[in-house]
Structure 1
């Protein structure tokens, strides 16, 4: 039997399960999507019961494989999400979606008590984002739903809840606490004063090192269970194990997150006002970051263009960079698109009229990559670095990569073709084996991008 490490990677859209061998190659994978349910206000949210059932069923099936012996299990998952448990370990509320509206009355009350907002953002490394600041979900529950709040014994971040299903240990880890939760004071390196004043530490589980493992028996099998890790922080792990020179990891998907673990200057008011924030490494050290809802915007805009030009909604996937189209658009009017999520950064004017889908798509990408470059520069700050690694969906988009090369000519842009970055990061936390020097080039298929000849 081949010894393997199992990982669950729980995204907002896709739920994934992998078995990795000793060389971190995928031996088995399962990918699924689970339907959302609605909370008491009618807002869509993850079904805790469906997620729990899928995780347990999938793992039980893997335990029955005769060709593999699972020696370790870990989890990566999206952040800003709490599961509130009663004394018996059962959920008290829904898993509230971080896109849910944070009541304005609660917003005013919170910042009247603990503001001003600009100072609070600098201290917590979290720009004001409502439910996306998951710590404020606890404030909201305490003050607007006190009956529910009184039933809570522990509020677990999603990665740690998944671990709890197997380990039965209720813990917190640094990466989950540090991802724009507004719980952590990065200046004082501990829970923020507001958390203690609201007496929320009683429902927050003890903090353990993200490398912590718990040996458990499950279905007559003995294996080590990890405590889970936030997915963006997990994606950084393979790169930090391989490279010592500074870099930025641009993790792309629904959110495009620029992660700079080498920044040494603290966040300032100007950076937080532009969306700058902190994530946290497994050892509790900060990662300067900037986020854009770029993938979400991209999908919406491409769908609109496909309908307008009556083309297949998949036609953009094979679109190549066209220097002639780029040169034509570059000297013409600036692109204008009615963003649904991204902030408008130009004056209102009539939309540009395009003759072809190719033209429209190139102009869309020019607009989006322009915003992406600003976000990358925000995360970079004054850090002396030259490398940007692009992983996730946009690492397969030639036009995105070529435009990055054009707009950031002094940077080395690399694409990474592996889709399991977070899962491998979670698996690496369970391993004492050093990462092979050729791992990123072979497994991640790192490819240095070259600017087009114009």
Structure 2
């Protein structure tokens, strides 16, 4: 049997276990994530996910020798843990009532110039979640021994070792100062310095799996677990070791995260939902974000990807979609999305594709990301019309598609043996196409968008 790396990949929508051998996907299994209603607030079904992971590890381990485990998770969740269990449920970042603490939280929150973390709705700023738990759930909070980023929660559950990592602390949490490389003054203002465990690098091994997990899964008792990484930063890892800056990676799924490597941080603007994340080597990276996957689904309806004839029909019709259809993320999160003009049901996917390409182009332009290659990975990489439209909107940049549904997990797997010694698969160049009427369509869309109050 081959020795493989198992990745626990916990996104907002799905949880997945994937096995890799030198970057080659061998096996994967996924399940839907559930949000439980509370009390004390809507929260992640961590026990359901844990049951899934144990069963999946047991199943995968019968076919492959698992040599290491790496967790990766979205950045808007954190876990208050006690001695051997959760002290409080892991909050769902879409919990709306968290806004009740905003006046008090705003007085403590450092300015954007220090954290490069914009004010985001609900619980998308992890510091706001922590403040809510301390102020509104004092009984639960008092039981906490550590506060762990979500990736490191799963590493702790596997090993019993508590750790923090900069890719997670630096993901729009308000808790980190990317340019200075240390925690922000919010940590002191909230009085939670004692809750943050030691910083470890994303690729540091934390220890072997606990004996009860070895017994439950059949894995070797000495199977090491790596600290883990924020999911968008996992998507970036293959390109950090295989490309020269500048370049931009569009990590697409529920969220579209635009990560601009080698770009100055000077044009980041919190009003645009642009910010700095921190890569696995501790370096700040200019980023933008909008909830593209969810907005696509709202506009497109039944989903799927369009063909180029549908793109041409929508452009010719003049129908446009204006932000925002998710209520969070991007430059126009507070405006209500609308569709202007008539579009046939069969062409809704084309309208959604044009909308997501136009928002991506707008954000890249505002950030000043006009040089280097554009690599689309994740869900939208399989939408050839999206990749082609983006390339036509940005003719000075080459567009590539990494048509890999396991891109995040594949990047995370690299951390088990960092830096990787094996070659990194190159993304596929997207052919340049001329799309009739696209420039005029973009101008009409931009004019309509400019009338929306920021």
TM range (shorter): 0.7 to 0.9
The match for 1:35 is 34
Task: Give the alignment partner of residue 280 of structure 1, picking from 271, 274, 278.
Answer: 278
Task: Give the alignment partner of residue 396 of structure 1, picking from 382, 399, 404.
Answer: 382
The match for 1:376 is 364
1:309-355 CA distances to partner (integer Å, 9 max, x unpaired)? xxxx25x43533457425523xx46555773536389999984123x
The CA distance in 1 between the partners of 2:204 and 2:321, in whole Å, is 49
The CA distance in 2 between the partners of 1:161 and 1:86, in whole Å, is 12
- Matches for 1:362-441 after TM superposition, within 5 Å: 362-379=350-367, 381=368, 385-432=371-418, 434-437=420-423, 439-441=424-426
Cα drift, residue 404 of structure 1: 0.8
The CA distance in 2 between the partners of 1:266 and 1:240, in whole Å, is 22
Compared with structure 1, are the counterparts of its residues 273 and 319 closer, same or farther at alpha carbon in structure 2 (3 Å cutoff)?
same
Cα drift, residue 245 of structure 1: 3.5
The match for 2:75 is 79
Residues 169 and 175 in structure 2, CA contact (< 8 A), matched pair in contact too: yes
Task: Give the alignment partner of residue 87 of structure 2, picking from 85, 88, 92.
Answer: 92
The CA distance in 1 between the partners of 2:385 and 2:370, in whole Å, is 26
Cα drift, residue 276 of structure 1: 0.7
Residues 178 and 278 in structure 2, CA contact (< 8 A), matched pair in contact too: no
The CA distance in 2 between the partners of 1:25 and 1:405, in whole Å, is 28
Matched, 1:211 2:196: no
Segment drifting more, 52-61 vs 423-432:
52-61
CA RMSD after TM alignment? 2.6
The match for 1:57 is 55
The CA distance in 1 between the partners of 2:298 and 2:336, in whole Å, is 21
Compared with structure 1, are the counterparts of its residues 352 and 264 closer, same or farther at alpha carbon in structure 2 (3 Å cutoff)?
closer
1:10-51 CA distances to partner (integer Å, 9 max, x unpaired)? 112221112212x321222112224332121563x3212112
- What stretches of structure 2 of length at least 5 have no aligned partner? 437-454
Residues 392 and 432 in structure 2, CA contact (< 8 A), matched pair in contact too: no
The CA distance in 1 between the partners of 2:357 and 2:376, in whole Å, is 13
Residues 336 and 352 in structure 1, CA contact (< 8 A), matched pair in contact too: no
Cα drift, residue 267 of structure 1: 5.4
The CA distance in 2 between the partners of 1:286 and 1:258, in whole Å, is 13
The match for 2:265 is 265
Matched, 1:180 2:172: yes
The match for 1:306 is none
Residues 175 and 184 in structure 2, CA contact (< 8 A), matched pair in contact too: yes
1:230-287 CA distances to partner (integer Å, 9 max, x unpaired)? 100011000111111311000111111100121233455xx11211111111121111
- Matches for 1:100-119 after TM superposition, within 5 Å: 100-114=95-109
Task: Give the alignment partner of residue 124 of structure 1, picking from 111, 115, 120.
Answer: 115
- Matches for 1:251-262 after TM superposition, within 5 Å: 251-262=251-262
How many residues matched?
Answer: 424
1:354-404 CA distances to partner (integer Å, 9 max, x unpaired)? 3x335554344333322121122234x2x5622100011111112212221
The match for 1:309 is none
The CA distance in 2 between the partners of 1:33 and 1:60, in whole Å, is 19
The match for 2:342 is 353
- What stretches of structure 1 of length at least 5 have no aligned partner? 304-312
1:61-108 CA distances to partner (integer Å, 9 max, x unpaired)? 33333xx22211111111110111112x21122111111125444211
The CA distance in 1 between the partners of 2:251 and 2:366, in whole Å, is 15
Cα drift, residue 453 of structure 1: 5.4
- Taking structure 1 as the reference length, the TM-score comes to 0.86
Residues 98 and 123 in structure 2, CA contact (< 8 A), matched pair in contact too: no
Residues 323 and 335 in structure 2, CA contact (< 8 A), matched pair in contact too: no
The CA distance in 2 between the partners of 1:229 and 1:348, in whole Å, is 33
- Matches for 1:98-247 after TM superposition, within 5 Å: 98-114=93-109, 120-129=111-120, 130-216=122-208, 218-219=214-215, 220-247=220-247
The CA distance in 2 between the partners of 1:211 and 1:344, in whole Å, is 35
Matched, 1:447 2:429: yes
